[in-house]
Structure 1
Amino acid sequence: MSSSVPTLTSLLKQTDIEDHEEILKAAESALKRSKSDLDVQHVKVVALLKLDRFDDAIQAFEDGGDKLKEKAELEYAYALYKAGKPSEAAQIARQGGDRGHKHVEAQASYRTENFKRATELYQQLASRLEDDAEADLRINTGAVEAQLEWAGQGELVQKKKPGREDMEAFETAFNAACGSIARGELGQGEVLLRRARDLCNALEDLSEEEKKAELLPITVQQIYVLSRQGRIEEAGKLARSIDARSIPDVSTRHIAAVNSVAASGSAANPFMAQRLVARDIESLKPDYPFHFQSSVLQQNKYATDLQSMKFGGTADSTAEAISKQASPSLDAYHNSLSVVNAAAHARNQTGKEALKHILPLLEKRPNDVGLILTIVQLYVLTGNLSSAITLVESFLGRLEQSSAASELDVRYAPGLVGTVTSLYHSAGRRAHAQTEFAKAATYWRRKSRERPAGVVHMFKTAGSALLESQEPEHQRLASEIFTELHERDESDRYAAAGLLAASPEEASSSQTSSLQPIDRLISTIDTDSLENAGIAQQPSSSNAALAAKRKRPVADDGKPKKPKKMLKSRMPKDYDPSKQPDPERWLPLRDRSTYRPKGGKKGKAKQNLYSQGAAPALESEGSRPATPAAEVVKGKQQGGAGGAKKKKGKGGKW
């Protein structure tokens, strides 16, 4: 553009245009005269972003070329993020170092489920607020921490319990509720959801329509919590109170529809439920759900397929997905597909009938964790505990001989260790359970940097079990486990109590300072009420006298007196004190050795039939062998030489 023609930016400085449509028209008009003006192109893409026309903004960047992308790098990353391309947006935003780039990268990392990176970025932004609102950062940080809990990375969350500041806005209360629900604290999550609802309804700067839109995700989450708590009627009533079709977010709308089907209990028409649940997850993009949500949605789809008796298709589709994943694997979704595949082969049967169809699958997939756990569960339900233990031991033994680190991680996974030790405890094999805990604890103590989330809980259980062992090595290992747990978290009372129990002579007052003193623990105990409630008391004088009467009297020399003779009226008529009584007098007559049944040998053989555990009488050589009951078949009457002829009587006629 020539210097005589004023640029668009200088014109905008001299005007009061606030309508982004007008700015866009002015930019396009200027670009007709000069397509290569970077300033005008920059104004155009900003106007498109303000109008939420993200696809058009990306097209404008493509038309402007690399120079425009370099000049408006932040706007380009933001456009990619809003257009459903978070991976590319995070990569571009990472190249810049200012706060704007960090905000976009954090949002894009959140969308790509890189929650660890998002947490790091928000911590950097919160360390220096500058122009950012502290409340907005707290809201975004709470959302990321909730997702960390859902993703199984709860150890990265710094704050587990909601604080007072989380109760000031409905967004922070909702995020705190999601974090509690992810940790399994459903009661606390329900309370926080109600708090979020009340705070949203109390806002005066929101219209009724805006409040309704904000309350929809809260209601959907409440339906989930009520269903998990078994309050199906309340969940169904709440699900019927909302219109899922009015939810603008595509993923939330689909989740609300699925929850309404699940909250209704067993559907009268499973085919209708299958039609409502069956939807391709890819069709929900760019508002696609997170991985933990999509996996559950896919499992719901398979569940409705099984209810609709689509066994063949479900078995084939799950088998194809299983074949793409290497085994053994600890991936929860992969192992859940194995369970669905087993249910499809068993045609929804359980017990021994299901085992007949599922056991052949083990020959094809011997290292499938989900399949093995399914068979173990069926063995336990049928009371075959020994087969369940044998199956798990053989599987773990194969993995233990492997040299691959991934297979050894599966071998000592906390879930599998908990399964085998639970089976040992059910079988009364406590020593085997302690040995298993010792092996798993020793393995994970060597890998301090690559531990899964459940190792800390396994350490606590293993330490408690090893404290009960009589082996010196187990006692030493328990002490080392609780020492490590206490060093990791000095406020952990369980670790402090375990450390005190493992080595009371070495535990210092600083290590056990988190434990409650004994005086404080018993300060609220009312001993009088406990005694009145039934604590054993010393016998009183009257009780002692009554007990003395019941005892055998003692003579002066300290020896007990001889008992009095029994009255003749209580003795049998044929009683002879010189004869020893029959030791079998308390047995029934037919069970005594002197009993002789009527009928000789036949009577004795017949009598043996009624005796539990008695051996059958041997047949004599002349006796006719009995006909087996299962082989008794009524023959067809035939004429001729082979048939039995009827004897003709005197004067009789055929």
Structure 2
Amino acid sequence: MAEPAIVALNSLLRSASIDDHAQALDLASAAIRAAKGNGPDLAAVQHARVVALLKLDRYDDALRAIAEGGDALEKQCMFEKAYALYKTGDLAGAEVVLRAAGPVAGRVKRGLKHVAGQVAYRAEKFDQAAAIYHELSANDEDAKYGEENDLRINLAATNAQLQWQGKSWAVPEEEKKPAGEDLEAFETAYNAACGCISRGEFEQAAVLLKRSRDLCETTEDLSEEEKKAELVPIIVQQAYVFTQLGRFEEAAALQKSLDFKEIGESSTKVVAQTNALFLRGEINPYLAQRLSELIPEIKGNDRLFEYQDSVLKHNKSVLNLQAQKFEGVERAASKFLSQQPVPSLSKSNVDLGVLGAAAASQLKTGKEALRHILPLLKSRPDDVGLLLTAIQFYVQLENPAAAVNLLEAFFKRLETANTPDHADVRFAPGLVALAVSLYRIQGRYSSIRSELAKAAVHWQKKTDLGAPGPGIDLLRAAGIELLRSSHPADLAAAGEAFSHLIAARPNDPVVQAGIVASFATTDIEKAKPYLDVLPSADEVTANVDVQALLAAGVAAPLPVAQPTRGKKRTLAEADVPAVQKQQPSQQTATKKRRKRKLPKSYDPDKKPDPERWLPMRDRSYYKPPKGKKGKRGRAAEATMQGGIVREEHETLELVAGAGSVKVEKAPSGGGGVGKKKKKGKK
């Protein structure tokens, strides 16, 4: 027979409305103390106690109650345990519980999926969270009233986070545009504004945030205290948007309207205080660095997302650099980045590497900075931010060869690692684009095609057919570049890239044309399905008026202009364009060449002198003139030990074993024997 306390609790649980969770907890605790044995009624009471603790936000106590109930209660309270672990910040533990839950049915399964979506969102696995919310939206047979609105809010928030994370390709285009129903509630309007901010659409974000604020202030579903709490993140976001739009006075006014002491969420408080420090304007860097240290650290489950934390660390490092704290910034960057097992391309790590380079070089640039950065790069070869900084300085110094050598050495090191994580970094779209840009500066177009071909092969293996991914745009660019080559291997690689892309982008005309261009000469059967889809040349040029283009000033091909001799143009003729002066008949006419004149003594039957190109004195039959002039020349030649004096006024440099000997003509005055000066008339 059941105990009276258990009977009372069961009666309470069967009541239509239970608002006093503290009363339910007291009855459940009393029933557990009075119960004897482990009957089914006791399990129900223990479950009720766990639920009451969760309703009272006593998540640690709920976990202890589940542990005290044994394996049977833990198996029954899978949903409650996962939710409690999520609220305490133990995301890894919550994921373990969700995986162990196994197949369940009905409302329990749907509840676990909701918790799984929240855990994935908080763990910043936004692609998983989006997949869960899409699945819940598609299967609504067990949905509760009002759940559709919650799913739309959570999905909009997840899409905004995906775009902030740099995964805009993972968000469907139709979900990026705010719908009409998003303007009906302040939560959906706020999330739609966040999506616009992540895409840089600040004007539209300002409109949506104003709409969200108006809806929040006029809603009747919240108390005044709840409205104040909900308005804080909206106002903080408005101030940020106004700052991006250059409306600093409005942003500063919004920041002053906030009372930091009344902000409950620590993450929101940190963001608000950081923005307030920025809006102070130009202040002493040492004072700004001191004020940044007064911003409290976030503890517990309410923490910043990775991109927010990255901005906060970036700001603090910049302020430390301005305050000349170079050693501290470089030491912190080196300590953190040296612990990374794989080269990281995350924005926070790359920024930290750049700031570490600035600290190591003490804010110097050019060759001075490279003298400090290059030795540091040897000790941290996987620091991507440090590598990019060195490459940037080499490019500024107009030394792209050294920049390419650094990048290729980094690529080679990643290729020898032979792990999937290293390969993803090796063929990251940003680094591949950097390599292509450097090769283009050097004119190495074959290297460009080789690099893009290797990247295309990698991302074809990584990206599922038809699924969007980070390598989709790279595959498209690689296919276009490979088509510029006439080599069969490059055309085949381009065909594979476009064939992989057609499933993800079936309506992209560039992809369709790429398939036709790739297989037109090798495998026409693969190109045939897209021949009819592409427009014909007549369709493309149907509305083109050639005569109108020519009349508007399109350059027409002209023959090479011949220089005119003996005739000067008037000012009026000089102002007339060459296209207007030259008639169509004159453009195609060939100009008659002037016949070359030959000497009068030319004899076509006489063989020309083979030594006619040599100076007269160097010809074999040359005989020097006789007389004083000839003697003087022979005497000059005799002084040179076989050397040749070209002219009397020339200077010669004779390269000998000991050096150069210069022979110059002696001046004709000053003590030399010269002609006597004739006497003038007295």
Scaled by the length of structure 2, the TM-score of the pair is 0.69
Shift of 1:345: 0.9
Match of 2:384 among 360, 369, 372: 369
Residues 57-105 of structure 1, C-alpha deviations (whole Å, 9 max, x = no match): 3344344444443444433333332233333234334416222222223
Offset at residue 418 of structure 1 (A):
0.9
1:33-79 CA-to-partner distances (Å, cap 9, x unmatched) read 44874444433333332233333333443444444434444333333
Distance 2:148 2:15 in 1: 35
Q: Determine which of 389, 402, 408 is the counterpart of 1:393.
A: 408
Aligned length: 559
The DSSP-based 3-state class of the residue aligned with 1:7 is helix
Matched, 1:86 2:91: yes
Which region of structure 1 is more displaced relative to structure 2, 432-441 or 33-42? Answer: 33-42
1:483 and 2:484 correspond: no
| Structure 2 residue aligned with 1:45 | 50
1:113 offset after TM fit, Å?
2.7
For 2:313 and 2:169, the matched residues in 1 are separated by: 27
- Unpaired segments ≥5 residues, structure 1: 553-557, 561-603, 605-615, 621-654
CA distance in 1, matches of 2:54, 2:18: 16
2:673 is matched with none
- Could you tell me whether the CA contact under 8 Å between 1:258 and 1:277 is conserved in 2? no
Q: Deviations over 1:134-182 (max 9, x none)?
A: 2222222222333333344555434553253444433233334434444
Task: Note if 1:383 corresponds to 2:398.
Answer: yes
From the superposition, tell whether residues 537 and 90 of structure 1 become closer, same or farther in structure 2 (CA, over 3 Å). closer
Query: What is the CA distance between 1:382 and its match in structure 2?
Result: 3.1
1:134 corresponds, among 148, 153, 161, to 148
Cα 1:475–1:71 shift into 2, 3 Å = closer
Which of 416, 434, 443 does residue 431 from structure 2 map onto?
Answer: 416
1:170 aligns with 2:186: yes
Deviation, structure 1 residue 456: 1.5
Using the TM superposition, give the Cα deviation of residue 376 of structure 1 relative to its aligned residue in structure 2, in angstroms: 0.6
Choose from 352, 367, 378 the match for 1:337: 352
Query: Aligned-residue CA RMSD in angstroms?
Result: 4.5
Contact 1:277–1:304 (CA<8 Å) still a contact in 2? no
SS in 2 for 1:284: coil
**1:413 maps to amino acid:** A
* Structure 1 partner of 2:333: 318
Whole-angstrom CA distance in 2 between matches of 1:338 and 1:346: 12
Aligned match of 2:567: none
Q: Distance in 1 between matches of 2:125 and 2:418?
A: 31
Q: Quick check: 2:307–2:347 contact (8 Å CA) kept in 1?
A: no
Q: Residue 571 of structure 2 aligns with which residue?
A: none
Q: Corresponding residue for 1:246? A: 262
Call closer, same or farther: CA 1:445–1:143 in 2, change over 3 Å.
same
Q: Deviations over 1:527-553 (max 9, x none)?
A: 999788656799xxx99999489xx9x
Partner Cα separation in structure 2 for residue 545 and residue 102 of structure 1: 73
Q: Matches of 2:193 and 2:220 in 1, distance apart?
A: 23
Distance 1:479 1:195, change over 3 A: farther
Residue identity in the other structure for 1:342 = A
Unaligned runs of 5+ in 2: 558-575, 587-591, 595-648, 650-659, 665-682
Letter in 1 for 2:87: K
What CA distance in whole angstroms lies between the structure 2 residues aligned with 1:619 and 1:263?
A: 78
Does the 8 Å contact 1:277/1:300 carry over to 2? no
| Alignment TM-score, normalising by the size of structure 1 | 0.72
Q: Are residues 1:218 and 2:251 paired?
A: no
* 1:288 match: 303
Q: Encode CA deviations 1:332-383: one digit per residue, 9 max, x unaligned.
A: 4333322222111111222222222212212322343222111011222233
**Which string of whole-angstrom CA distances, capped at 9 and with x for unpartnered residues, describes residues 502-531 of structure 1?**
567858686478878889988999999978
Distance 2:578 2:374 in 1: 67
Which residue does the alignment assign to 2:361? Answer: 346
Residue in 1 that maps onto 2:113? 102
Q: Are residues 428 and 291 of structure 1, via their aligned partners in 2, closer, same or farther at CA, if it must alter by over 3 Å?
A: same
Q: Identify which of 470, 474, 486 aligns with 1:458.
A: 474
Deviation at 1:233, TM superposition (A): 6.1
Do the aligned partners of residues 425 and 44 (structure 1) sit closer, same or farther apart at CA in structure 2, a change above 3 Å counting? same
Provide closer, same or farther for how the CA distance between residues 298 and 14 of structure 1 changes in structure 2, counting only shifts above 3 A.
closer
Query: Amino acid of the residue matched to residue 58 of structure 1?
Result: L
The alpha carbon displacement at 1:210 in A equals: 4.0
How far, CA to CA, are the matches of 1:443 and 1:354 in structure 2? 35
Query: Deviation per CA, 1:414-454, whole angstroms, max 9, x where unpaired?
Result: 22211121122234443432332233324433555599943
- Structure 2 counterpart SS, 1:363: helix
Change in CA separation of 1:492 and 1:246 when aligned onto 2, cut-off 3 Å: farther
Q: Which residue, 257, 282, 295 being the options, matches 2:273?
A: 257
Q: Which moved more, 1:514-523 or 1:456-465?
A: 514-523
Deviates more, 1:102-111 or 1:217-226: 217-226
Equivalent residue for 2:638?
none
The alignment status of 1:113 with 2:114, answered yes or no, reads no
Are residues 264 and 41 of structure 1, via their aligned partners in 2, closer, same or farther at CA, if it must alter by over 3 Å? same
**Alpha-carbon distance change, 493 to 182 in structure 1, aligned in 2, over 3 angstroms:** farther
Are 1:169 and 1:199, in contact at CA under 8 Å, matched by a contact in 2? yes
Aligned residue type for 1:23 = A
- Distance, in Å, in 1 between the alignment partners of 2:532 and 2:200 is 29
Does the CA contact (< 8 Å) of 2:169 and 2:468 recur in 1?
no
- Relative distance call for 1:4 and 1:225 in structure 2 (3 A) is closer
Alignment partner of 1:157 is 2:171: yes
How far has the Cα of 1:251 moved from its partner?
1.0
3-state secondary structure, aligned to 2:284: coil
User: Aligned with 2:176: secondary structure?
Assistant: coil
Q: Which has more radius of gyration?
A: 2
CA distance in 1, matches of 2:16, 2:579: 112
Residue 589 (structure 1) aligns with: none
Q: Distance in 2 between matches of 1:617 and 1:231?
A: 77
Partner of 2:631: none
